Structure 1
């Protein structure tokens, strides 16, 4: 079975739910990694802020950092071969690299529209006088 390793830039946390700004890419990636691990796929993450030793243990990662720098992270390796840089892999990419099909349910999150969007016209929570300001 293939091993997938994702080396990430220094993050305050792996989930993407840090402070006031939520990083949706990290939230999705965290859910994808958890789903794949539940299927028995060997996928692991390393955070430069909390796991710096893991970056120095792999010569491929060391060479990548010396050449491209930490600003080029995340770096994804499959069996110690670079397969992706500069963004997190999708669930489908990781499944393909692991030679699996997706058996876990994908949860579709509803799109929550702004209460003051143009299409809400007469039902706007802001009332007619507030619509021109952009929101309540």
Structure 2
């Protein structure tokens, strides 16, 4: 949080996994507000694998790396495509302008796939019935 405070007068702010060592309550109650305040006067880039942070931020723009095993290459890093698009548009695009569902790729990146997402929801529903 101190580093975020110190960066408030910078034009561009890069934040790499700010959720490290933070619980989701702190992310929701403290971190999100600070990142949104920074956004008012700076371009803020946040890298995260935390679905709570990713969802609560409601970013303007989304960048997702997507593994593509159809790419023939010797180097593993060349198997990744970078997809981008407006968060609210439901579409992401690669550098060749191919269109992808942002839902599919966001859920894959943030939840390890739709099956994991559904399983987590089912588990929460079970926990909710045991109140």
The TM-score normalised by the length of structure 1 is 0.24
Structure with the bigger percentage of helix: 2
The TM-score normalised by the length of structure 2 is 0.24
Larger radius of gyration: 1
Higher RCO (C-alpha under 8 Å, 6+ residues apart): 1
